[in-house]
């Protein structure tokens, strides 16, 4: 698809909604005001910390955490932090936080995946950024900025207080849906509005990932998995 789009000079835009999330924008804006500020993007899900719950999760999301839950954070790194397979200088897993398990899914087949992972990427162009993802971490995602001493200077969460009222309305309207749909609802709307405006008027779809970013994000995910697995063994 990427090649066909390039051959036909067609722009393909992707639905990586965290590229336009309020908490991401506010964190990036704050980081720009701080010398040597280090950004960490944190993504959480609400699975129960049991073999049964995580085994079902591993099987249903068999592509693995980095190409599923954490793919949005990797898209942020590719979009805004110069991260690409060719530009990665080092990858360091936080072994104290991270966990990898082999669990049986509902079919009885075993799957190996991360139930939680944290790592820092440094690029050849001098940037550093961290990602943390936890299948059992709750329903709040956030980003932080810390200084060189590791002290947290800034944090913004999704949902924030402004979003919580909308979350409660959506929970009542769509019972049983995954909680992250409720907290990210305004961001999906922003993605759709910007893509629609681009299609209708040619206005720049600011912050929206292109198919080139999406393909590189998948390459980065595939590159990281064996490295992180090796570091956690």
Rounded to whole angstroms, the Cα distance separating 217 from 101 reads 24
pLDDT, tens only, 18-34: 999 999 999 999 999 99
pLDDT confidence of residue 118: 98
Mean pLDDT of 140-161: 93
Would you tell me how many other CB atoms lie within 10 Å of the CB of residue 3?
8
Per-residue model confidence (pLDDT) at position 165: 86
Residue 160 has a pLDDT of 85
Reduced 3-state DSSP string for 192-221: HHHHHHHHHHCCCCCCCCEHHHHHHHHHHH
Is residue 118 within 8 A of residue 74, CB to CB? The reply is: no
The reported pLDDT for the residue numbered 150 is: 94
Tens-digit pLDDT profile for residues 75-100: 999 999 999 999 999 999 999 999 99
pLDDT band at residue 192 using 50, 70 and 90 as cut-offs: very high
SS3 173: helix
The predicted pLDDT at position 183 comes to 84
Angstrom CA distances, 115 to 7, 100, 119, 165, 184, stand at: 40, 6, 14, 30, 22
* pLDDT tens sequence across 39-65: 999 999 999 999 999 999 999 999 999
pLDDT score at 68: 97
Residue 121's pLDDT band, with cuts at 50, 70 and 90, is: very high
């Amino acid at each position: 698809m990427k090649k066909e789009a390039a051959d036909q000079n067609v722009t393909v835009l992707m639905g990586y909604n965290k590229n336009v999330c309020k908490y991401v924008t506010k964190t990036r804006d704050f980081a720009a005001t701080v010398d040597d500020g280090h950004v960490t993007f944190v993504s959480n899900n609400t699975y129960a910390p049991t073999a049964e719950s995580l085994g079902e999760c591993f099987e249903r999301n068999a592509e693995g955490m980095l190409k599923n839950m954490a793919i949005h954070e990797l898209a942020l790194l590719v979009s805004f932090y110069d991260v690409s397979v060719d530009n990665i200088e080092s990858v360091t897993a936080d072994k104290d936080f991270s966990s990898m398990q082999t669990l049986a899914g509902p079919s009885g087949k075993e799957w190996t995946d991360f139930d939680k992972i944290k790592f820092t990427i440094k690029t050849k162009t001098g940037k550093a950024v961290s990602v943390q993802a936890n299948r059992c971490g709750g329903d709040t995602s956030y980003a932080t900025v810390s200084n060189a001493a590791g002290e947290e200077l800034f944090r913004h969460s999704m949902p924030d207080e402004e979003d919580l009222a909308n979350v409660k309305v959506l929970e009542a309207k769509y019972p049983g849906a995954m909680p992250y749909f409720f907290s990210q609802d305004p961001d999906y709307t922003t993605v759709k509005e910007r893509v629609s405006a681009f299609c209708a008027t040619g206005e720049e779809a600011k912050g929206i990932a292109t198919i080139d970013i999406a393909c590189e994000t998948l390459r980065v995910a595939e590159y990281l998995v064996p490295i992180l697995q090796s570091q956690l063994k």
